């Protein structure tokens, strides 16, 4: 999958080095190699990255993370945890491409539903998930 000079790919346990060069503000905090290894070695965790192909070695300019889960009384589902795109690469469709890559992974895994949670005030996230085909459901506060 490609968005101009950016390519989207899902990482696996052999791809830890891909996260050696990440643009600022893609993740919430600094990457920790032990956590990268643990995340990527867990088959239920999924990380899609956007790589700036305009460089000799692709720099990560966006990420989307998800977890697929099973439950004794529910079908397999995908929870999209986080999507982050470097400010230098926002508003180019990269976030939507990352979400679509995660949704496709979910389909391959047999997930029948995908969901996210976001604050009502987070307009950019709500627009992103809507552009990827998401439907907003109101969750009543108790």
Number of CB atoms found within 10 A of residue 51's CB: 20
Given this model, what pLDDT does residue 4 score?
A: 58
Identify the pLDDT of residue 49. 96
In this prediction, residue 137 carries a pLDDT of 72
Class of the CATH domain delimited by 2-131? alpha beta
Q: Report the distance separating Cα 88 and Cα 94, nearest Å.
A: 11
Please list the ranges in the chain whose pLDDT falls under 70: 1-4, 54-57, 130, 139-142
pTM of the model: 0.86
The predicted pLDDT at position 118 comes to 78
The three-state secondary structure class of 59 is strand
Q: Give me the count of residues in the chain.
A: 142
- Taking the C-alpha atoms of residue 106 and residue 8, their distance in angstroms, rounded to an integer, is 16
- Residue 18: what pLDDT? 93
Q: Which of 131, 94, 101, 99 is nearest to 6 (CA)?
A: 94
């Amino acid at each position: 999958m490609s968005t101009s000079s950016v390519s989207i790919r899902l990482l696996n346990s052999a791809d830890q080095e891909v996260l050696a060069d990440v643009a600022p503000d893609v993740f919430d905090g600094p990457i920790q190699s032990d956590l990268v290894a643990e995340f990527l070695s867990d088959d239920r965790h999924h990380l899609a990255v956007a790589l700036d192909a305009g460089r000799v070695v692709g720099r990560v300019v966006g990420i989307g993370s998800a977890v697929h889960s099973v439950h004794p009384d529910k079908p397999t589902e995908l929870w999209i945890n986080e999507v982050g795109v470097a400010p230098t690469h926002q508003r180019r469709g990269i976030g939507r491409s990352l979400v679509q890559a995660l949704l496709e992974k979910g389909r391959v895994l047999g997930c029948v539903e995908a969901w996210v949670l976001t604050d009502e005030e987070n307009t950019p996230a709500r627009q992103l998930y809507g552009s990827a085909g998401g439907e907003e459901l109101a969750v009543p506060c108790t």
